[in-house]
Amino acid sequence: MHIRLLLLTLLVAARPATVRAQSPADPPALYLGTAWYPEQWPESRWDADLALMEQAHVRFVRITEFAWSRIEPSEGHFDLDWVDHAIRAAERHHIAVVLGTPGAAPPAWLTQTYPETLRTEANGRKDQHGNREQFNFTSAKYRDLLRRVTEQMSTRFGHDPDVIGWQIDNEIGSESFDDGTRAQFQQWLKAHYGTLDNLNTRWTTSYWSETYTDWSQVPIEEGYGNPGLLLSWKRFVSDTWRSYCQLHIAAIRAHADKRQWITTNMMGWFDAYDHYTVAQDLDLASWDDYVGTGHLDPVRNGATHDLTRGFLGKNFWVMETQPGFVNWSKDNNALDKGEVRAMAWHDIGHGADAVSYWQWRSALNGQEEYHGTLIGPDGTPVPLYAEVRQIGEEFAKAGPALAGTSVHSEVAILHSYESRWAVNWQRHNQAFDPVDNLISYYGPLRQLVHSVDIVPPSASLTRYKLVVAPALNLLKPAEAENLRRYVEAGGHLVLGQRSGMKNEDNGLDPNRQPGPLTDLLGGRVEQYYALTTPAPYSGTWGSGEGPIWAEQLSAKPGTEVLMRYGKSNGWLDDEPAAITRMVGKGRITYIGVSLDPATMAKAAQWMVTDASVATPFSQLPEGVDLYIRSSDRSSGARTVYILINFGKEPTSITLPKSMHDVLGGKDVNTVSLERYGVSVLEQ
């Protein structure tokens, strides 16, 4: 009997991962995760770490994204057995695995043997081994080596039942300025423009004798240069990162189950490339959510969640978030007790289906020794561990209620990387930050309607009653037509200052702002002014002062003036500051002045009321944030409300109707919330 048991044990141990039947429990609706680096610790330690994760209801770990030197210790010699051991160890604790492709940290043998794979910085200096993202993203040799290691991983683990997904690289975004990259950029230009005559015409290169007579003359320029050149470089960078991700996707998909999704972890408002371009080939959008110095700003952080949700128009994952504090900020203060839990539920409220902490345990050396963790270097829990365990317990409890739910919005804000780049290259007023400008609209709108999508101007807009486009500076013909159709079909479009100024080559539109939408608006911008002293205004939304930017508008008969300037610089005096026009059942509005917060709040109320947008829970105590997730209405309406108190004092909320308290397990009519308190309610 003992011999038979021994033989059975040996047979089970010998089964390859591809036919392993056991897997973690059914996938949860909400995943709690952490970044784990088994290569940094002896295998004898792994089970102790994983047992602590299991106790905290951690349901997945991300591994291997920095482990190339362990996976391929010398060229062509691969060691994936330790990865299999790590996956099997996680399996024993009912923890799934996300595998990271290791391109972010090439091994020393690679960069020494193939120095051409190192990126060249803008100043001409070659990057060196010893940090991360030091590779040249256009290098054919680097891509070939990366394809090979990715194929080795996907061949081994593409059918592993415990591997649920793949993360491409880690926080991509460092360009290279070497001669080979410049040559590829020039080829990209040739494919895009066809002829030099076409490029010269569209870039107006007669200015400053910039005319090119050979493709090889075109430089790389990032900061100050011809606007057409600047924009083309960014488009090339975006396309190059897309092809970089496509390389990984092809290498994985050739060997992996379709159920294994593929993502790459992005970085919020980071704009080194167009995220819409790169994200379109992914199965899942994800981002790394860090506060840094200070405390969570639910408005700005919430807008970043909504931006990420808009990359693919569906729920997303938070692949990294800070466990208390970071190490890279000027002042690395810790989040308050309870704030990490509130932040996790804030993520879920905006459409995240997973929250993962970076990292599980500090490495004993390396550049991020001081970064926050869930357990200390001695392997025992830090104080925050108990709070994360509470989050895990609550995710498990609330998962069934939130399963199949997502965010459904009637209001959208349009966001364009190309418009942001165009403004940032020529701000005209250094205080005009396009992200701050967008959030100045987002904050008061979300406070009223509790759900706002952030989408590109090319997105389908038919589901929205109200669409707001702050500083949509660069407007392509297809995007302009999309907005025109939206208004003519009955939507309300609000354009913010600096909209419709540039064409698709980042040149000035020969029409005054808002360019191709001027006839639809029945008015235009006569002149724009960067302000050094605030411009007063008054009208439908009360009175106030615009501190940054003001545009003198004109209005044709049939276009209503909503706001006018007071006495200002003479040019603006008594001129229209905001105008609106009905177009059939729709409406188009143009706001030519940067509104102060009080006036913006009134303008937002006017927009929401005019567009007949529903405002549930309209009366909430100051500091309380509301999030709404619901199931697809075609399968029967089911709505979950999440309330979080970010205010400094405890508060109570009377509900519009009786609801089920998911975390408390009872029906309630009122909710009491301590500071950073959370309530999950099912209707």
- Mean pLDDT to the nearest integer, 547-553: 97
Is residue 235 in a domain? no
**CA-CA distance, 335 to 140, in Å (whole number)?**
43
Percent of residues, the chain, with pLDDT higher than 70: 96
pLDDT attached to residue 634: 56
405-442 pLDDT tens trace: 999 999 999 999 999 999 999 999 999 999 999 999 99
pLDDT bracket for residue 616 (50, 70, 90): confident
pTM over 0.75: yes
Strand partners, 680: 642
CA 76 to CA 593: how far, in whole Å?
61
Contact 444, 411 (CB under 8 A): no
Q: What is the pLDDT of residue 614?
A: 87
542 & 592 share domain: yes
pLDDT for 290: 97
Pair (16, 143) in one structural domain: yes
Asked if the structure places residue 202 within a domain, the reply is no
What's the pLDDT tens digit per position in 381-390?
999 999 999 9
Residue-wise pLDDT for 224-257, tens only, equals 999 999 999 999 999 999 999 999 999 999 999 9
Each as own residue / partner, the long-range contacts of residues 510-513 (CB below 8 Å, 24 or more positions apart, any chain) are 513/551
> For residue 139, is it left (φ>0), alpha (ψ between -120 and 50) or beta?
beta
Tell me which of 339, 374, 403 is where a domain ends: 403
Q: Give the mean model confidence (pLDDT) for residues 111-126.
A: 95
Sequence-separated (6 or more) residues with CB below 8 Å from residue 144? none
**Site of tokens 């191709």:** 516
Nearest CA to 268 out of 238, 298, 307 is that of 307
Mark whether 429 and 366 lie in a shared domain: no
Give me the sheet containing 492-495, strands edge to edge.
453-455, 411-414, 466-469, 492-495, 586-591, 576-583, 560-565, 535-539, 542-546
Structural domain for 675, as ranges = 624-682
Say yes or no: 252 and 348 in one domain.
yes
Q: What is the mean pLDDT of residues 678-682?
A: 97
Residues sharing a CB contact under 8 Å with residue 471, sequence separation 6 or more, in sequence order = 419, 420, 423, 432, 434, 437, 438, 496, 497, 498, 499
pLDDT confidence band for 21 (50 / 70 / 90): very low
Q: Tell me, yes or no, whether 454 and 330 share the same domain.
A: no
> 599 with 562: CB under 8 angstroms?
no
- Which of the four pLDDT bands, split at 50, 70 and 90, describes residue 10? very low
Q: What pLDDT does residue 109 have?
A: 97
Q: Are residues 365 and 479 in the same domain?
A: no
CATH of the domain at 636: 2.60.40.1180
Question: Do residues 146 and 293 both lie within one domain?
Answer: yes
Q: How confident is the model at residue 615 (pLDDT cuts 50, 70, 90)?
A: confident
Res 17 pLDDT > 60: no
**Better-scored residue on pLDDT, 125 or 13:** 125
Q: Which has the closest alpha carbon to 416: 609, 560, 581, 277?
A: 277
Same-domain status, 257 and 388? yes
- Name the β-bridge partners of 597: none
Pairing of strands 639-645, 624-631: antiparallel
Q: Residue 20: its pLDDT value, please?
A: 38
- Is there a domain that residue 458 lies in? yes
Q: Is the pLDDT of residue 450 over 90?
A: yes
| Residues β-bridged to residue 60 | 33, 96
Using the predicted structure, report yes or no on whether residue 188 has a pLDDT greater than 90: yes
Do 220 and 116 contact (CB within 8 A), yes or no?
A: no
CA dist 275 and 286 (Å) reads 11
pLDDT band at 204 (very low <50, low <70, confident <90, very high): very high
Structural domains in the chain (count):
3
- Could you read off the pLDDT of 487-528 as tens digits, one per residue? 999 999 999 999 999 999 999 999 999 999 999 999 999 999
What is the band of 13 on the pLDDT scale with cuts at 50, 70, 90? very low
Residue 228 falls inside a structural domain: no
Is 499 inside any structural domain?
A: yes
Out of 76-85, 318-327, 359-368, 415-424, least confident range: 359-368
- Please say if the pLDDT value at position 377 is more than 50: yes
Q: What is the pLDDT of residue 660?
A: 97
Catalytic residues, which ones?
Answer: 171, 320
Is the same domain home to 394 and 255?
A: yes
Question: What would the mean pLDDT of 395-407 be, rounded to a whole number?
Answer: 97
| Domain contains 198 | no
Type of residue numbered 217: Q
- Do 555 and 660 lie in one domain? The reply is no
**481 and 396 assigned to the same domain:** no
Q: What pLDDT was estimated at residue 18?
A: 37
548 touches 429 (CB < 8 A) = yes
Q: Give 22's contacts (C-beta < 8 A, 6+ positions apart).
A: 91, 161
Three-state DSSP at 554 gives: strand
Tell me, yes or no, whether 415 and 381 share the same domain: no
Structural domain includes residue 563:
yes
Is residue 450 a contact partner of residue 628, using CB atoms and an 8 Å limit?
yes
Is it the case that residue 152 has pLDDT exceeding 80? Answer: yes
70 or 130: which carries more pLDDT confidence? 70
344 near 391, Cβ under 8 Å?
yes
- What is the model's pLDDT at position 646? 98
In a domain, 445, yes or no: yes
pLDDT for 2 beyond 60 = no
Last residue of a domain, one of 403, 437, 471: 403
68 vs 79: CA distance, rounded Å: 10
| Position 635 pLDDT exceeds 90 | no
Q: Indicate the residue among 366, 382, 403 that finishes a domain.
A: 403
Residue 93 belongs to domain with CATH number: 3.20.20.80
Whole-angstrom distance, CA of residue 346 vs CA of residue 295: 13
> Which pLDDT does position 327 carry in this prediction?
87
pLDDT tens-digit readout, 262-275: 999 999 999 999 99
- Backbone φ and ψ for 574, nearest 5 degrees, come out as 65, 10
DSSP 8-state assignment for residue 125: P
Task: Report phi then psi at 341, rounded to 5.
Answer: -65, -45
pLDDT at 22 over 80: no
